[in-house]
């Protein structure tokens, strides 16, 4: 990862983003919310298509033939993403209360949220088995303690570690993947980077680099995976900025 080059692009975006009209920014952000919600829920098995997600969130059209859980998963994810943007707007750093709030929003009308598991869980297809409930509780406490003081990491690595370590602990019975992707974006955004969406078509690559951290403790491949997505997102906005300057 060429972090200095990534920082340069971030600085350019921050300096020139006002060249984009409010209409364009709102349009981009709205499109991202729909894409992100679709991808993050689809990775976990939700069957709503991208257009169905748009109809539900943007046009408020009910989707026939889908069970209520899938509908709530999509609606709740969108609420949770807006919640983290609200928190960042207030300059609130990520902590245990924020994470529990995010999980409660994700699980609304599905199951009680924000409650750590008291049962063993297994991840289908993964080489890693999450820790027992007692060990998971201690690890999640250590995770929160490390969040503000994690040294030797740049902002992208910290975001990647936040996701990878959280999902490795798997503190909740359900919703860990969605929560981890939200708190990863929380860390990116609070450090001035753009939020990213992991395409459902890339889920095998995504699971592979996550598994390498869970089993071998190697964060590098996952951090590189996230940095590549961040760079693409910055490039998209920089290109839009350049086009707006020539008009």
Q: Which residues are catalytic?
A: 170
Cβ burial, residue 169 (10 Å; 0-12/13-18/19+): buried
Closest CA to 244 of 4, 8, 2, 21: 21
Q: Is the Cβ–Cβ distance between 106 and 113 less than 8 Å?
A: yes
- Closest by CA to 172, choosing from 161, 185, 183, is 183
Helix residue spans in the chain (DSSP H): 3-16, 22-43, 50-57, 68-89, 96-106, 133-146, 155-169, 176-190, 203-216, 220-246
Angle of helix 68-89 versus helix 176-190 axis, rounded to 10: 20
Nearest alpha-carbon partner for 44 in 123, 114, 129? 123
């Amino acid at each position: 990862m060429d972090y200095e080059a990534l920082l340069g692009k971030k600085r350019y975006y921050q300096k020139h983003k006002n060249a984009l009209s409010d209409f364009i920014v709102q349009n981009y952000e709205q499109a991202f919310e729909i894409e992100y919600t679709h991808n993050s829920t689809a990775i976990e098995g939700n069957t709503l298509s991208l257009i169905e997600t748009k109809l539900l969130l943007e046009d408020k059209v009910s989707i026939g033939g889908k069970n209520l859980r899938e509908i709530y998963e999509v609606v709740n994810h969108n609420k949770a993403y807006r919640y983290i943007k609200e928190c960042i707007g207030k300059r609130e750093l990520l902590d245990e209360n924020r994470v529990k709030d995010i999980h409660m929003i994700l699980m609304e009308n599905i199951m009680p949220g924000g409650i750590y598991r008291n049962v063993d869980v297994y991840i289908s297809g993964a080489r890693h088995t999450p820790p027992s409930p007692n060990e998971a509780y201690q690890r999640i406490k250590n995770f929160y303690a490390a969040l503000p003081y994690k040294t030797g990491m740049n902002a992208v690595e910290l975001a990647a570690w936040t996701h990878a370590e959280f999902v490795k602990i798997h503190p909740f019975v359900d919703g860990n993947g969605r929560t981890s992707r939200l708190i990863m974006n929380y860390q990116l955004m609070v450090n001035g980077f753009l939020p990213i969406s992991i395409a459902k078509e890339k889920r095998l690559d995504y699971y592979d680099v996550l598994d390498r951290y869970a089993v071998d403790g190697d964060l590098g491949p996952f951090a590189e995976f996230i940095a590549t997505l961040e760079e693409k997102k910055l490039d998209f906005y920089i290109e839009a900025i350049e086009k707006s300057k020539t008009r």
